[in-house]
Amino acid sequence: MKVEHVSNSFFLCDPSFTFIEVVYHSALQGAAPSNHYVRRKHVDFRLPPFLEEQTKATAAMAKLIWFCLKCILLCSTIEAVFEDQVGKFDWRQQYIGKVRFSHFDTHVQSSKKVLLATENNVFASINTRTGELFWRHVDMTGPEGNIDALLQHGQDAVLVVGDGRQLRSWDINIGGLNWEIVLDSGSFQSACLVGYQDTVKHVAVLKKTVISLHYLSNGHQKWIENLPESETVDFQAVYSGGNGEVYVLGVVPHSHIAIVAYSLDDGEIIKQVILTPWLSNIQASCVVIGQGMLTCVDSAAVSLYTLDLHVQSQMTQIPLQVPTTMKPKAFYFIKLPDVSSSLVWTGLNLTQWSSFLKKDDSVGYRAMVQTEDHTLTFIQQPGRVMWTREEALSDVVTMEMVDLPLTGTQAELEGEFGKKADGLLSMLLKRLSSQLILLQAWIAHLWKLFYDARKPRSLVKNDVTIENLSRDEFNLQKMMVMVTASGKLFGIDSKTGTILWRHYLDNIPSNAAFKLMVQRTTAHFPHPPQCTLLIKDKDTGLATLHVFNPIFGKKSHVTPPALLQPMLQSLMLPIMDQEYAKVLLLVDDQYKVSAFPSTKNVLQQLQEMASSIFFYLVDSNQGKLSGYRLRTDLSTELIWEIVMPTEVQRIVSVKGKRPNEHVHSQGRVMGDRSVLYKYLNPNLLAVVTESTDLHPERSFIGILLIDGVTGRIIHEAVQRKTRGPVHVVHSENWVVYEYWSTKSRRNEFSVIELYEGMELYNSTVFSSLDRPHAPQVLQQSYIFPSSISTMEATLTEKGITSRHLLIGLPSGGILSLPKMFLDPRRPEIMSEQSREENLIPYAPELLIRSEWFINYNQTVSRVRGIYTAPSGLESTCLVVAYGLDIYQTRVYPSKQFDVLKDDYDYMLISSVLFALFFATMISKRLAEVKLLNRAWR
């Protein structure tokens, strides 16, 4: 008997990258434990005959009760947050990204603001005391929203956006837009504020060929001038000294600097040329300091050049005495003789620096430093770190949730079973002692609860540290392991959002693809949990492995194999070595397979199972989807191949099912009490294609359901006059996908459900190789009134809880849409049977109700991914949404049916109990009196 498995391995949404997904097919003889084992049970919904009579008699009442229950059920599927739950188990962290420009707000002495413009096209204001955001504006992604320059004057901040396309002025106090104008096209070079007699009223914008001057109050253009000789001279900088003149500095590399001065009023030109044969780039090596003093550094001659822009004589050279061994991370202060400011030279990425006079006239300083790992640190006077922001978390690539380890005492108890028995009595004693320890711990816990309860709530602080980390009763608190694009790994406590460990990986290629795998969970006690991160250069295909402990972030002592060949794919098998680490198979471009860990035991297991391990590779460039089988010598053989003509369509995504998903019910009970069995093929892949022709009339998207083991196409559907981006969720026996309809200009959802029919072919086990009947396919489509950013389905431990779709919207909301609304069996006309089945009548438009937003007003900007993980409670699913922000919460798709709710009314229950108790007492007394009276009568 054969069972196939689909390992849902990673999948990179980059067309230039070869997509690979893996299926393996293993022959499990009998009782091998597995996540994917699909157990079939015959369910009889008919009552025995002797009960039928009775049933009829009570049916009328039952019907009524049933109807009421249905009402309750229907209502209960509508999930929402209660107001008193805000912040109870959810948290949000807002980020801005890697800083490009920053500016301390200095116009008010006591201002606590620092303005930041980042490479993620975010403009934000941060509190310098705490590092929290005052406000933040998230612009378009891509070059249109790119911030080119940031200037500040008073309470206005002027931004040049989109390669000099737009000029915006923001009010930094309230974070609102003052004005916004569109500039003429032309590549942006530089911008500066222009002052005259101590008042700044204009801003100058320098482009490749023109310079324009705008009023600071409303953005209107005062004048625009073409630059002279702009074909030969590369104008790079603009400067104004406050004397009514605007200086534009251009350079002809290795020849001379051209200085063009414009008068503020009418833009008249004064021109000057100064020979500077050593200079090639003004922006990189020059700065204007003090009163119009242009200072340039010549690194070849190790000297400074200064030039007074107002006088415009020759450049004066100042030789420098710089230590020859310039360490990259060191400060160099140079005091210039005739300029009253100092230059700071640093190997660190110093984003903002400001010095100020303190009350006692001593010079204070504050600095904001951004390091390579995108950490923003704010330092004040005596070298005190005020705050740090981990801006790397604005770009989370992938994440996993790992169970926390048991507490020491629990682990002690657990360890008891691992050891060899050394006698009945000693075992008993050990058991008693460990239970004593547990009792002690419990009493201590109770005492703490009692003690904390007396203190006001705000004072009770549960500081989470890596030491006191332990699994809670229902496994609701987990470790979030997050991988960011910068190559920094984070371990975050899911309950509070505290960063518990961080690890920066050096020399990560800029275009790296990451895949995080949990090789060993915390369940195998003496062995530490183990995660493996595969880092792959997308260009060369060369990969490295980083093995670490997900709880402490430490690098594991296990040395991963060196991968010399470009990697095509990696896949996790459910087979384990003696140390309970799951085996990772790595497929290189020669289609050779290597295993990690590759102990003898593992290789032996692999050889035994090789004939039933299948995987597939996707090559989107050639539109090829091919299935392979593993040979006993760890080479591979091609089994099937599907080619999509690349001139017509291209493969955009391939989705398998999640390997840790459980399906509880094998079928659906119909209105007539028969069962419609689900087609639960664990090897099913959903392949989405988009047409290469993007004309709205001819474009289409296609969806193929393919069995990953045999390559059999189970179903194929094409949606005409539609285009991507397509978001797909594939789970249980359904596939939900969302696309853009070019014909009706709206977003549409489509759902495909697969059923085996009224009978199961083989009820004990599923095999792709032995399924003669094609499944019944049902499909329905709906209109969705918003575009979406990402989509994921909830996941629970046993799969009993109904499923919801979590949809990230561009507005920042995370919508929890019951799967019930995306059911292809929704009837257009309600019949008695469909009513019995609780089907909702078909309506073309899906509604967005604001109660369904699981993150209420805690919007998540640019949500890129949603991660769901089951908890120890069947009703509860942990959700992490990441994008620019990170938001963590819990959802209860069928409400909290297995724990008492927050609003459980203890008072009511106890008062009712007491009332009943007293009522019985009183009535007993009354009855006694009455009996006595009757006896007398």
Restricted to residues 318-347, the positions that interact with other proteins (CB under 8 A) are none
Cβ distance to other proteins smaller for residue 284 or 915: 915
Exactly one of 426, 850, 910, 920 binds other proteins (CB under 8 A); which one? 850
Beta carbon of residue 207, minimum distance to other proteins (angstroms, whole number): 10
Quick one: tokens of 666? 């094998």
- Contact string 647-686 vs other proteins (x = CB under 8 A): ----------------------------------------
HEC letters along 131-182: CCEEEEEECCCCHHHCEEEEEEECCEEEEEECCCCEEEEEECCCCEEEEEEE
Alpha carbon 774 to chain centroid, angstroms: 37
Q: Up-side HSE of residue 170: CA atoms within 13 Å toward CB?
A: 23
Residue 905 contacts other proteins per CB under 8 A: yes
Exactly one of 15, 253, 277, 785 binds other proteins (CB under 8 A); which one? 785
Locate the DSSP E strands across 598-671.
Answer: 614-619, 624-630, 636-643, 649-655, 667-669
Element containing residue 907 per DSSP (H, E):
helix 906-936
Quick one: tokens of 273? 């040329």
Restricted to residues 215-234, the positions that interact with other proteins (CB under 8 A) are 219-221, 223-226
Beta carbon of residue 141, minimum distance to other proteins (angstroms, whole number): 8
Cβ distance to other proteins smaller for residue 226 or 324: 226
If binding means CB under 8 A, how many residues of this protein chain bind other proteins? 72
Cβ distance to other proteins smaller for residue 224 or 774: 224
Beta carbon of residue 181, minimum distance to other proteins (angstroms, whole number): 6
Beta carbon of residue 268, minimum distance to other proteins (angstroms, whole number): 15
Cβ distance to other proteins smaller for residue 80 or 437: 80
Cβ distance to other proteins smaller for residue 80 or 777: 80
Cβ distance to other proteins smaller for residue 202 or 771: 202
Of 53-61, 466-474, 539-547, 564-572, the segment contacting other proteins by CB under 8 A is 53-61
Beta carbon of residue 834, minimum distance to other proteins (angstroms, whole number): 16
Q: Give residues with Cβ within 8 angstroms of 549, minimum separation 6.
A: 528, 529, 530, 531, 555, 556
- CB neighbourhood size of 88 (10 A): 12
Cβ distance to other proteins smaller for residue 5 or 207: 207
Q: Give residues with Cβ within 8 angstroms of 10, minimum separation 6.
A: 398, 513, 515, 570
What distance in Å separates the CA atoms of residue 880 and residue 888, rounded to the nearest whole number? 4
Quick one: tokens of 667? 């079928």
Exactly one of 27, 38, 200, 210 binds other proteins (CB under 8 A); which one? 210
Residue 858 contacts other proteins per CB under 8 A: yes
DSSP letter assigned to residue 66? H
Cβ distance to other proteins smaller for residue 563 or 726: 726
Residue 692 contacts other proteins per CB under 8 A: no
Angle made by CA atoms 724, 885, 736, in degrees to the nearest 5:
30
Restricted to residues 446-475, the positions that interact with other proteins (CB under 8 A) are none
Restricted to residues 131-190, the positions that interact with other proteins (CB under 8 A) are 135, 137-141, 144-145, 162, 165-166, 168, 171, 174-182, 184-186
Exactly one of 13, 35, 63, 916 binds other proteins (CB under 8 A); which one? 63
What distance in Å separates the CA atoms of residue 153 and residue 202, rounded to the nearest whole number? 10
Of 439-447, 631-639, 833-841, 857-865, the segment contacting other proteins by CB under 8 A is 857-865
Q: Give residues with Cβ within 8 angstroms of 255, minimum separation 6.
A: 275, 276, 277
Of 284-292, 507-515, 817-825, 851-859, the segment contacting other proteins by CB under 8 A is 851-859
- Contact string 66-85 vs other proteins (x = CB under 8 A): --x-----------xxxxx-
Residue 60 contacts other proteins per CB under 8 A: yes
Restricted to residues 83-112, the positions that interact with other proteins (CB under 8 A) are 83-84
Cβ distance to other proteins smaller for residue 329 or 934: 934
Exactly one of 212, 519, 868, 876 binds other proteins (CB under 8 A); which one? 212
Q: State residue 785 phi and psi, 5-degree precision.
A: -80, 25
Q: CA nearest 218: which of 167, 264, 147?
A: 167
Locate the DSSP E strands across 164-233.
Answer: 166-171, 176-182, 188-196, 199-207, 210-215, 221-226
Beta carbon of residue 124, minimum distance to other proteins (angstroms, whole number): 11
Beta carbon of residue 813, minimum distance to other proteins (angstroms, whole number): 8
Evaluate the CA torsion angle 83, 86, 89, 92 in order and state its sign. Answer: positive
Of 22-30, 236-244, 600-608, 806-814, the segment contacting other proteins by CB under 8 A is 806-814
Alpha carbon 52 to chain centroid, angstroms: 54
Beta carbon of residue 880, minimum distance to other proteins (angstroms, whole number): 19
> Strands 746-757 and 776-784, how do they pair?
antiparallel
Cβ distance to other proteins smaller for residue 364 or 725: 725
What distance in Å separates the CA atoms of residue 69 and residue 52, rounded to the nearest whole number? 21
- Contact string 730-769 vs other proteins (x = CB under 8 A): --------------xxx-----------------------
Quick one: tokens of 693? 């022709």
Cβ distance to other proteins smaller for residue 219 or 711: 219
Q: State residue 751 phi and psi, 5-degree precision.
A: -125, 135
Cβ distance to other proteins smaller for residue 557 or 745: 745
What distance in Å separates the CA atoms of residue 135 and residue 127, rounded to the nearest whole number? 10
Of 272-280, 476-484, 800-808, 901-909, the segment contacting other proteins by CB under 8 A is 901-909
Q: Give residues with Cβ within 8 angstroms of 458, minimum separation 6.
A: none
Residue 372 contacts other proteins per CB under 8 A: no
Beta carbon of residue 24, minimum distance to other proteins (angstroms, whole number): 38
Q: State residue 919 phi and psi, 5-degree precision.
A: -60, -45
Is the preceding omega at residue 659 within 30 degrees of 0, hence cis? no
Of 89-97, 302-310, 731-739, 848-856, the segment contacting other proteins by CB under 8 A is 848-856
Residue 787 contacts other proteins per CB under 8 A: yes
Beta carbon of residue 349, minimum distance to other proteins (angstroms, whole number): 28
586, 9 contact by CB (below 8 A): no
Residue 890 contacts other proteins per CB under 8 A: no
Is 424 in a helix, a strand, or coil?
helix
Is 414 in a helix, a strand, or coil?
helix
